[in-house]
Structure 1
């Protein structure tokens, strides 16, 4: 089926030809240059449905590759441990101001290197080793920082996991209340890596107040939707909000923390000097660019299109035989069980990868094996809309039913669809 043209409000990418810096790299280190070119080709001729990935703008990429990468800047604007920080101070102040304004927060810290770094700093600011924390259990979509024994969170704190209703797949708030009353946690964490519905932040706030606990929102996945007005914000309810700056927000890989003025100093000291050293100033400048882009009407249109695409894709996958968890999605995320198609998530991921459809696996609440997790942020950035989502679902279902015979034809069709919507022109 023919691809539809994307309106300017959604597809905002501009030409990004390789410049002098890339030519220098190709001359001085052709081995790495070829890897970069190969990765760009991979991203361009396959469908990127990993829920945590997106395509940054050329402006964000320019900031990442700028001279700010050379600057050491331990500390905060106006209080650095190194000289020559006047300009990077200005860049960080802009990033802070834009983030606070974008999300309506009293304070923003833009230095965390990742979402996990942001969560670590939030725990360091509010908790002591051994404190009890209530968070979504890993089998139900909790993140590694929500109590995995392989992670600092599970080694340093006493995590109690809450789950979802076995029939609906929705968060069981009554269970959380029961667990909070029994364990009296120091903090409650709301957030997930595979839950496709909006958390009820007001309900979480009430539960935290009843338990005398801090409320920490891990909003890494929905933060871009929140910026675009396509998802509710945890900022009015949570004591601390942790997030990434990539995913739907479409910025550089990194983290951020939002909080009220009363916790600002504790959060800042937990980031530096407690958990991190020098800030990555090129990344902070790129975050400032992304925050500026996210404050535009074009980004709001993009965020709403991401959700519209996800809902169409979820319905089409269900019609094709998948069991879509929670019966659909409110966000960019879709979690599904491919068992009705005769394969588990791991086998599905392999068959889809062979067809050029790239996605992740995820845990299945109350189920055996693994399911799949996919998202629509990247393909929406490319300009794809509802008709393309329906076509992706057709290709998805066809790939599930092909072990080898016919796989080449599907791969060709995927490459043809992706080629109509290049992430970068030029």
Structure 2
């Protein structure tokens, strides 16, 4: 069978290869430090690797460039992925028995985070969802903070059609409460100043993957706006629990950050595509969850068929045509549906001119019981002739 052209319309995959980055093959597999080490430091180290200082210097330059773009003072990319970052960070940030206030899965939090934190010995409290407005109920959640006084607050937003400002939640919290924001779903938009920085909301620590919203390699970063006790704890944990920082992917991330013209266009277009595609799909009669126009839209879109079977059948029909969604249980008691995202599709060439046709295609897939040969060909022709953003 001839391989299908595919349009990635989920929010958690991306296409770094479109940037055509080439790095020194020699770096792959090397143990490279991101710390400055002179002869005296090396002499006192438990182990030292020769011939790596040039690469270490280059990594620190990349860190400085990323930190400047994010408004951070300190940054590290030693971490390998999002969940790896969760494990390492929270092994260092607190101790067994500490209390952490977490964005729950029911409000768009990552489904694995609570399990990880409980396994590490944390007492996990959950923020209160507002199932009407698809956000956190700030007032009710603040009551939990005042009553239970958690040592840590963690916003790990995996799913959401709005970008929430948590400034009011963090206002007047106890001084000894550390705050962490996972920016994996919003990293490019934060980098390019299309979304408010979590540091401006009052968060102490920002962490993120580099391979979801940002079109980078399989990697994670963590950074701090200033020197604080939480950054010290994280760096101590990273030094203990991460041996090889997989330097080749750090060099890839450094190169992609230099494509500022493309990244700025990508960030803006990704968000506009989401808003316009939602509008066009609603016009085509697709059961999209409609967003309020006065709130900040993300690149996520939710489709809510009548039941689980309809949702899954739609998901499989789209896959048959080469259009890739996420079938998943949506937050806020919405039940099973479809999660879409316009990040990778924007890099593939989705724009305001060609998305009306995509909305019509998605509508035909939704309403046709079975996929006809003519519809399959139409979808394949549409994907085939998209012009990638970087061209």
TM range (shorter): 0.7 to 0.9
CA distance in 2, matches of 1:85, 1:405: 56
**Residue 32 of structure 2 is aligned to residue 73 of structure 1:** yes
Q: 1:339 and 1:268, CA in 2 relative to 1: closer, same or farther beyond 3 A?
A: same
Listed one character per residue, the Cα deviations across residues 75-101 of structure 1 (whole Å, up to 9, x for unaligned) are: 634367322212321231122111111
Q: Residues of 2 paired with 1:226 and 1:135: CA distance?
A: 22
Q: Where do residues 403-414 of structure 1 align in structure 2 (5 Å cutoff)? A: 403-406=369-372, 408-414=373-379
Inter-partner Cα distance in structure 2 for 1:165 and 1:48: 30
Please name the residue that 2:344 is paired with.
378
State whether structure 2 residue 54 is matched by structure 1 residue 87. Answer: yes
Encode CA deviations 1:104-127: one digit per residue, 9 max, x unaligned. Answer: 101001111012222223322321
Q: How does 1:11-22 map to 2 (within 5 A)?
A: none
Q: 1:312 to 1:424 in 2, by over 3 A?
A: closer
Deviation at 1:229, TM superposition (A): 1.8
Whether the 8 Å contact between 1:69 and 1:280 is mirrored in structure 2 is: yes
Alignment of structure 1 residues 170-249 onto 2, 5 Å: 170-206=135-171, 209-210=173-174, 212-236=176-200, 237-249=202-214
Q: Tell me what 1:52 maps to.
A: 12
Give how far 1:412 is off: 1.5
Root-mean-square deviation (CA), in Å? 2.6
Give the count of matched residue pairs.
Answer: 375
**Structure with the higher helix share, 1 or 2:** 1
Q: Which residue of 1 aligns with 2:277?
A: 313
1:230-279 CA-partner distances (Å, limit 9, x unpaired): 11111232111110112222111110001122244332222222x32111
Q: Specify which of 266, 284, 290 is matched with residue 233 of structure 2.
A: 266
| 1:387, distance to aligned residue in structure 2 (A) | 2.8
Whole-angstrom CA distance in 1 between matches of 2:11 and 2:69: 22
Partner of 1:23: none
1:180/1:55 CA distance change after superposition, 3 Å: same
SS at match of 2:339: strand
Name structure 1 gaps, 5 residues minimum. 1-37
**Contact preservation (8 Å) 2:131, 2:333:** no
Instruction: Tell me the equivalent position of 2:313.
Output: 347
CA deviation digits over 1:170-200, x for unaligned, max 9? 2211121122233321111123111121121
Partner of 2:91: 124
Residues 238 and 361 of structure 1: is their aligned pair in 2 closer, same or farther, counting only changes over 3 Å?
A: same
Change over 3 Å in CA distance of 1:405–1:344 after alignment to 2? closer
CA contact (8 A) 2:98 2:151 kept: yes
> In structure 2, do the counterparts of structure 1 residues 215 and 67 end up closer, same or farther at CA, with 3 Å as the change threshold?
same
- Report if the CA contact (8 A) 1:188-1:216 is conserved: yes
Match runs of 1:284-299 below 5 Å: 284-293=250-259, 296-299=260-263
Contact 1:190 1:216 in 2 (8 A): yes
Unaligned runs of 5+ in 2: none
* More off after superposition, 159-168 vs 91-100: 159-168
Residue 22 of structure 2 is matched in structure 1 by 62
CA distance in 1, matches of 2:338, 2:386: 24
TM-score normalised by L of structure 2: 0.87
Partners of 1:379 and 1:172 lie apart in 2 by 32
Deviations 1:315-370 (CA, angstroms, capped at 9, x unpaired): 22333231316457612112231228x95433332121112110112333343641
Distance 1:227 1:405, change over 3 A: closer
Shift in alpha-carbon separation, 1:395–1:59, aligned structure 2, 3 A: closer
Q: What is the TM-score normalised by the length of structure 1?
A: 0.80
On the 8 A contact 1:382/1:422 being kept in 2, the answer is yes
Pick closer, same or farther for the CA change 1:386–1:370 going to 2, 3 Å: same
Distance in 1 of aligned mates of 2:348 and 2:106: 32
Query: CA offsets, 1:149-168, max 9 Å, x none?
Result: 3xx22322222222432222
Local SS of the residue matching 1:102: helix
Matched, 1:134 2:101: yes
